Structure 1
Amino acid sequence: MPAELLQGATSATGPTPGTPALRPTAAEPPLVGPAKILIVDDEPKNLLALEAVLDLDHLELVRATSGSEALKALLNHEFAAVLLDVQMPGMDGFETATLIRQRERTRDVPIIFLTAASRSEAFVSRGYSVGAVDYLVKPFDPVILRHKVAVFVDLFRKTEQVRRQAEERAQLLEERLARVEAEAARDRLQQVIDVLPEGIALADEHGAFHLWNRTAEEILGQPPAAVQTGAAGGLPLLDLNGEPCPPEELPLARAILWGDTVRGVQLLVENTAAGRRVPVLVNSAPLRGAAGVISGGVLAFQDISAIKEVEEQKDIFLAAASHDLKNPLAVLKSRAQLLHRRLSRPGATPDVPSILKGLQGIDDTAGRLTEMINELLDVTRIQMGRPLDLDLRPMDLLELAREVALELRESTDRHEIKVEASCDSLEGEWDRQRLGRVLANLVSNAVKYSPDGGPITLKLSREQEGTASWAVLSVTDSGIGIPQEDLPRVFDRYFRARNVSRRIEGTGIGLAGARHIVEEHGGQIMLESSEGLGTTVTIKLLLTAVGDITVCA
């Protein structure tokens, strides 16, 4: 097919006046690179002629000299249009167009047939039937060719613009969905960690906190991010001596920088809001991404103030208990040595009354030691959560109260210990030894915490509640009392009120042990106190069901 069939086109180097420019309009963004046009002809000079006509800006012409080359080019490029010669050796234009339309990727590419062959209606119909969008018979006008190509380039650009916009919208939607899912996952995680009793804080690879729970804020007095120390250090942690930890030794830094898992490190953290240092038990671990790369770290810290306080109070208790045991042991040893010296003197005549008195003293001291050891054993059982092995026998609570009051009157001359009862006796089945210990402890506390002296009153009465009858015993003093804020903890093991913990000796187990013993009996114990006015401790123990005999006015 001779190139001269292109009317005046062989020397054209640009658009003919009046021809639409093949450029994107100002309203649409330009494509990346020029639009590509595939020109297919088995005659090189015809290809040159087409290139001369279509040598325009924003167009890239790709040659093919056969149907096979055209199909290969279509696999590697996106074309705005294909200018396809019909009459080619081997695979002609119709066959090539048929294969183009059969492929999913290329079926929508516009095909313009170029041929010098028959203008018959059947020939043209065949071209349209195999997928051509236009049919130009040589010789053709370059202006018309440029115009038709311009239309398809413009359509291609608009189609690409729509496709890009659709892809961008799809990407935006995907990103929004991802954000929504991430926020939902974050909310779920927040709900989970907010119920944990430990402070939890999650940091990125730089150590900056981006998620934490309420407990963390409570321990620190403010959000972790507000006290961020920078780098990978995390929180401003101190060692137990109050010295700042080296940054590289901080648990979170070790997790993020070295991938270490840190467990059970005791440190101090500054609570600037409360103006105090909080002892914490710290754990940390690295957070890794899908590829195993460290992407951050998690820090868990538990406020162990209560544990530390219990440990301190326990140490005080052990020291006091050791002291209390040491005194009767010293008395026991002294009396035994005295008896030994008296009996071992040469020619000494045994003074039986004196020996018996000494032995009685040893027996009394041994009894007190046994009682103290039993009390320590009860404390151990309470700590282990084991029930007490109560020795329940018939006894009179009023009689026991009078015995305890009489015994403790001898230990003080500044207090008037009296017993008031609205009945002649209060009989029930209880563990006499343990209830005696409870009463002795309550009266001793009343004496101890009334340093200026004053009355101490034991009141006993009987109360009826439905079908149950209760023995009620209260011990009242007019001593220093207990601060209101300490009342919720008075029955905790080793706890001592702040107004006495440093100036009056004590173990902090008396009321805790009393509550356990009373509750093991199925009873109740209550405490009322006002600082500076005194304290009343009340015990209620089950007597009998209605109808049984209880001698009480």
Structure 2
Amino acid sequence: MHDATPTKLLIVDDLPENLQALEALIRGDGRTVYQAGSGEQALALLLQHDFALAILDVQMPGMDGFELAELMRGTEKTRSIPIVFVTAAGKELNYSFKGYEAGAVDVLYKPLDSFAVKSKVEVFVALYQQRDAMRKQVEALEAARRQQEETQAQLQHALRMRDEFMSMVSHEMRTPLNTLYLETQLRKMQLERGNMAAFGPDQLRRMVSRDDRQIQNIVRLIDDMLDVSRIRSGKLSLRLGSVELAGMLGRVVQDLTPQAATAGTSIVLDAPVPVRGWWDDFRIEQIVMNLLTNALRYGGSQPVVVTLAVLADSVRIDVRDSGPGVKPEHQAKIFEPYERGVGSEAPAGLGLGLYISRQLAEAHNGSLTLSSVPGEGAVFSLTLPRTEPPAAE
């Protein structure tokens, strides 16, 4: 069974009738025979194709067969092509010796023995096909080896990411759980001592507030992990409805004002007019919360500015901080999962906020981008299309 790629043979002779006769002898299934009427034509073909065998007439005007063979042996691409010389000169001229000296594998004398020619061509075609098949096998083995190495590297990376992720989850979960546990032990000790004064109205309010913060931290971590799982499995769904963005931004800023004060800074909102659209209010609020929390964390205790802009067919929310900014080589990386900043100290959290936020923006057919110059802060821009509600609504 022949390979799908035909085996190519080259015959060179200055007489067209000799070329036709020789082609009639050597053509066959799975072969393509190329003819050249001169050494120059032969060289052009040799540079374009890979030949299994070249049959050269010795006595040609201009460049003869020996000169052509010498050029072939001096070129890397054609050096290994077997050469058979054909000559009408008498054996007494000793062309056989000169032909072998020129690198030929055989010298044939005219008139040609058709059986001998066919047999020799069969041998060289078979050798070429065997070498070609072996080369392809070696290439396939090399490709398989590279693929195996790549797969192994990906597996090791996945295992490393899993171990790092489990370590982060354990650490992040342990902090609020430890706080809750210590609070519980403290209250248990007060109850055992009968110290009911420790549970007065003011104390209870502070206890509930602390518990609520720790529980919310745990819920946030779990929600982030669930969101990543939904995104990767394609099961993240949006509950679209009418949303007024200016009011939403005002509520989010108000909720985060105590956190900003704790960080020694403030949040400035510039949303002068109501803007209504058809989005998932919970998910948009989640994106804005992530961006603001991120800005407060990296903003260097400088005010964070939130701007709402109305464009032709979309709206854009910009969250600007005045922190150290993000280097160009890190700007794409921070949107990857489990990336927790680029400083020497990793901040709290699993490094999922920006990844989830971008995925949520794209789920709305929008975008989340970063513009930053090191030393001049960063601007995260959430762009959302102003789609209309369904007709039934």
When the two structures are superposed, what TM-score results if normalisation uses the length of structure 1?
A: 0.43
Task: Report the residue type matching 1:172 in the other structure.
Answer: K
Q: Which piece of structure 1 moves more, 437-446 or 334-343? A: 334-343
Quote the residue 1:18 is aligned against. Answer: none
Q: How has the CA–CA distance of structure 1 residues 315 and 509 changed in structure 2, closer, same or farther, with 3 Å as cutoff?
A: farther
Q: How has the CA–CA distance of structure 1 residues 407 and 393 changed in structure 2, closer, same or farther, with 3 Å as cutoff?
A: farther
Cα contact 2:242–2:276 (8 A) shared by 1: no
Cα contact 2:322–2:377 (8 A) shared by 1: yes
Q: Give matches, 1:420-499, under 5 Å.
A: 420-421=270-271, 423-450=272-299, 452-465=300-313, 470-495=314-339, 499=342
More helix by share: 2
Quote the residue 1:525 is aligned against. Answer: 368
Q: Find the aligned partners of 2:242 and 2:219 in 1 and give their Cα distance.
A: 20
Q: How has the CA–CA distance of structure 1 residues 307 and 491 changed in structure 2, closer, same or farther, with 3 Å as cutoff?
A: farther
Q: Give matches, 1:261-276, under 5 Å.
A: none
Question: Is residue 153 of structure 2 the alignment partner of residue 318 of structure 1?
Answer: no
Quote the residue 1:541 is aligned against. Answer: 384
Q: Find the aligned partners of 1:435 and 1:411 in 2 and give their Cα distance.
A: 25
Q: Write out per-residue CA displacement over residues 294-331 of structure 1, whole angstroms, 9 at most, x where no aligned residue.
A: xxxxxxx3265566445444543433332222222222
Q: Find the aligned partners of 2:216 and 2:304 in 1 and give their Cα distance.
A: 26
Of residues 204, 218, 233, the one that matches 1:384 is: 233
Q: Give matches, 1:83-482, under 5 Å.
A: 165-178=113-126, 201=139, 212=142, 282=148, 301-302=149-150, 305=153, 308-309=156-157, 311-346=159-194, 348=196, 351-388=200-237, 390=239, 394=243, 396-413=247-264, 415-421=265-271, 423-450=272-299, 452-465=300-313, 470-482=314-326
Q: How has the CA–CA distance of structure 1 residues 357 and 411 changed in structure 2, closer, same or farther, with 3 Å as cutoff?
A: closer
- Larger radius of gyration, structure 1 or 2? 1
Q: Find the aligned partners of 2:372 and 2:185 in 1 and give their Cα distance.
A: 47
Number of residue pairs aligned between Structure 1 and Structure 2: 284
- Deviation of residue 409 (structure 1)? 0.6
Q: Write out per-residue CA displacement over residues 427-450 of structure 1, whole angstroms, 9 at most, x where no aligned residue.
A: 445444443332232223233334
Task: Report the residue type matching 2:275 in the other structure.
Answer: L
Q: How has the CA–CA distance of structure 1 residues 352 and 488 changed in structure 2, closer, same or farther, with 3 Å as cutoff?
A: closer
Unaligned 5+ residue runs, structure 1? 1-24, 30-160, 191-199, 204-211, 220-280, 283-300, 547-553
Task: Report the residue type matching 1:533 in the other structure.
Answer: E
- Deviation of residue 393 (structure 1)? 6.5
Task: Report the residue type matching 2:337 in the other structure.
Answer: R
Q: Could you say what secondary structure the match of 2:216 adopts?
A: helix
Q: Find the aligned partners of 2:178 and 2:214 in 1 and give their Cα distance.
A: 10
Task: Report the residue type matching 2:357 in the other structure.
Answer: A
Q: How has the CA–CA distance of structure 1 residues 407 and 384 changed in structure 2, closer, same or farther, with 3 Å as cutoff?
A: farther
Q: Could you say what secondary structure the match of 1:508 adopts?
A: coil
Q: Write out per-residue CA displacement over residues 304-360 of structure 1, whole angstroms, 9 at most, x where no aligned residue.
A: 556644544454343333222222222223333344444454484663443354234
Cα contact 2:172–2:350 (8 A) shared by 1: no
Give me the identity figure in percent: 21
Question: Is residue 389 of structure 2 the alignment partner of residue 516 of structure 1?
Answer: no
Task: Report the residue type matching 1:493 in the other structure.
Answer: P
Q: Find the aligned partners of 1:404 and 1:307 in 2 and give their Cα distance.
A: 42
Q: Write out per-residue CA displacement over residues 24-70 of structure 1, whole angstroms, 9 at most, x where no aligned residue.
A: x97499xxxxxxxxxxxxxxxxxxxxxxxxxxxxxxxxxxxxxxxxx
Task: Report the residue type matching 2:302 in the other structure.
Answer: G
- Deviation of residue 375 (structure 1)? 1.9
Q: Write out per-residue CA displacement over residues 377-419 of structure 1, whole angstroms, 9 at most, x where no aligned residue.
A: 1122223332246485745332244235414313312x44322
Q: How has the CA–CA distance of structure 1 residues 348 and 416 changed in structure 2, closer, same or farther, with 3 Å as cutoff?
A: closer
Q: Could you say what secondary structure the match of 2:150 adopts?
A: strand
Q: Find the aligned partners of 1:365 and 1:27 in 2 and give their Cα distance.
A: 105
- Deviation of residue 172 (structure 1)? 3.1
Q: Could you say what secondary structure the match of 1:302 adopts?
A: helix
Q: Find the aligned partners of 1:426 and 1:316 in 2 and give their Cα distance.
A: 42
Q: Find the aligned partners of 2:154 and 2:320 in 1 and give their Cα distance.
A: 30
When the two structures are superposed, what TM-score results if normalisation uses the length of structure 2?
A: 0.57
Quote the residue 1:36 is aligned against. Answer: none
Cα contact 1:447–1:456 (8 A) shared by 2: yes
Q: Find the aligned partners of 2:345 and 2:151 in 1 and give their Cα distance.
A: 28
Cα contact 1:404–1:436 (8 A) shared by 2: no
Task: Report the residue type matching 1:472 in the other structure.
Answer: R
Unaligned 5+ residue runs, structure 2? 1-89, 95-108
- Deviation of residue 517 (structure 1)? 1.9
Cα contact 1:478–1:533 (8 A) shared by 2: yes
Q: Find the aligned partners of 1:315 and 1:543 in 2 and give their Cα distance.
A: 42
Cα contact 1:420–1:459 (8 A) shared by 2: yes
Q: Find the aligned partners of 1:376 and 1:321 in 2 and give their Cα distance.
A: 9
- Deviation of residue 507 (structure 1)? 3.4
Q: Find the aligned partners of 1:521 and 1:312 in 2 and give their Cα distance.
A: 32
Cα contact 1:381–1:387 (8 A) shared by 2: yes
Q: Find the aligned partners of 1:476 and 1:175 in 2 and give their Cα distance.
A: 76
Q: How has the CA–CA distance of structure 1 residues 449 and 460 changed in structure 2, closer, same or farther, with 3 Å as cutoff?
A: same
